[in-house]
A = this chain, B = another copy of it.
Amino acid sequence: MLSKKTKYGIKALSFLARQENQIPVPIADIAKSENISIKFLESILLLLRYSGFLGAKKGKGGGYYLIKEPKDINMAHVYRILEGPIALLPCVSHNFYEKCDDCVDEANCSVHKLMTEVRDNTLMILENNTLADIAF
């Protein structure tokens, strides 16, 4: 299941994508509009800033704003930053690969086969969706 962090992060990005102009939006405004705990959202937005999606401005008139076009923000990328691996098992993940302790022969593992199929499809969907596709 998706963590609230990811859910809130995507909602916040969508909210910012729907803003007509590029002026900074304070955390509190986003939190209120999307019904998110301010402090929790704060840490999420910080992460999204570090990851290159958002810019921030301090002081009066400050807040967060998108620094990329919504159509250039790939949801697979967002997902990996917020949630981590797209695959349901570490042994199926490209970016976060880890071998299973219990698994002797990965190539013939029934779970591996099934989850690879799931992963490939999920990845395709996330990569084919940009923030612009889902924000409105």
Interface residues of A (CB under 8 A from B): 1-2, 7-8, 10-11, 14, 34-36, 75, 84-85, 88-90, 100-104, 109-111, 113-115, 117-118, 121-122, 125-126, 129, 134-136
Contacts and interface: CB of A to CB of B under 8 A. Distances in A.
The number of times this chain is found in the oligomer is 2
Minimum-distance CB pairs A-B, first 5: A35-B102, A14-B110, A110-B134, A2-B88, A121-B121
Label chain A's interface by main secondary structure.
helix
13 contacts: A1-B84, A1-B85, A1-B89, A1-B90, A7-B100, A10-B110, A10-B114, A11-B102, A14-B110, A35-B101, A35-B102, A75-B114, A121-B121
A25 B113 CA distance: 24
